[in-house]
Amino acid sequence: MDSVNWIINKRAWSDVHSKWPERVIPRDVPRIVRKFHAQIPGYRISPLKGLDRLASMLGVGGIWVKDESQRLALNSFKVLGGSYAIYNVLRQKLGLLSREVSLAELTSPEAREKLGVITFATATDGNHGRGVAWAARKLGHRAIIYVPRGTAQARIDAIKGYGAKVIVIDGNYDEAVDKIKEDARKQGWQVVSDTAWEGYEDIPTWIMQGYTTLFSEAQEQLAAQGIIKPTHVFVQAGVGSLSGSAVAFYRTLLGSEAPLFTVVEPTNAACLFESARIGDGKPYKIEGSLDTIMAGLSCGRPNPIAWNVLWDCTHVFISCPDFVAARGMRMYAVPLAGDPFIVSGESGAVTLGVLSLIMQRPELAPLRRRLSLGQDSQVLLVNSEGNTDPDDFRKVVWEGAHAVPRGFKVTELRS
């Protein structure tokens, strides 16, 4: 489908107070999480890059891109969630969950003797598995990672590079999740999944909390530019953990003064969009191949913890075809004179593609007006990944794959 579809979520525009943001991201958690990440060797604040010329061209006050392609040399934000979850699992196993623990204590000979060697297991489309493998290795443990069929060899090799065993499953991402759950139960592995199910909620919540470091950093970086907060946050979604973290972070921090939130998904894997379209407050799984160039967003089953936050607080849900992500990749790679060059993969670039269309396409003028996007807007985007699949990256950026078709459609759906 060559159609960009959007839904206004009336709940988020009402005066309904949601309990979910602060339940998922309590007020003191971002400080604790960031203190943990600061202990990791090589930790640096990832850049916040301003696209001033593009903002002027599109007619907004500012476009700010949190560039997670430079996170710990791992090319993705995912390590923030995986490492914090593993940290908490180890604290829990040592009976130390009630207090903060240093990395030195967790990796001490005494802790290693009590813990033994744990095998951490997860399913991934690439970046989450790489983060889990990296964190497990750093903390002296093992990792086994299941990936769906069609996963790029470059992503598999990147995971293996951190000592993990990788198994390709003959199925999509959701089927890989189901398979790792089953095998982990039999083998005694510790699952570190970014989506929740009944009886498995702590670790997905810790992963969402781990992501708050990037938003905490962004707030400091914006303040250095004299900006109190973004007026708008556009964030991509697979199972919804990153987008749920963004919304929960800002709603807990700022309450009713939080930014307006737009969540963006690929058309063939738009489980949050579909759940919003059905509109009864429940998360719904979608079926099918989930085929999209946005591999990191190729998920058919929402994280129910994230969904609770998003259903109450997301102002607009958007589903879009692959050419929107490809457009964003090319815009980052070939910036206007004076703007910084950004290496962005398919999942990282889709929000810039969407924002540019909202500001330029006459069919999207109603949405532009609804979001009050204009000269006073300071828009925050997250480049969630760099070039994690070099072959596809070159096809898009060099060869123009997934070009914007003539006469593509924009559709508002009613929730």
User: Which residues are known catalytic residues?
Assistant: 78, 125
Residues 6+ apart with CB under 8 A from 68: 46, 76, 77, 214, 348, 382, 383, 384, 385, 386
Closest CA to 232 of 332, 109, 314, 138: 314
Query: What angle do helix axes 346-360 and 322-333 make, rounded to 10 degrees?
Result: 90
Query: Which DSSP string corresponds to 309-320?
Result: HHHHH-SEEEEE
Residues 6+ apart with CB under 8 A from 150: none
SS3 200: strand
Calpha distance 384→125 (Å, rounded): 14
In 255-400, alpha helices (H):
271-278, 304-313, 322-333, 346-360, 365-370, 390-397
CB 10 within 8 A of CB 316: no
**Measured CA distances, 267 to 123, 318, 369 (Å):** 22, 9, 23
Closest CA to 18 of 315, 229, 367, 302: 315
How long, in residues, is the chain?
A: 415
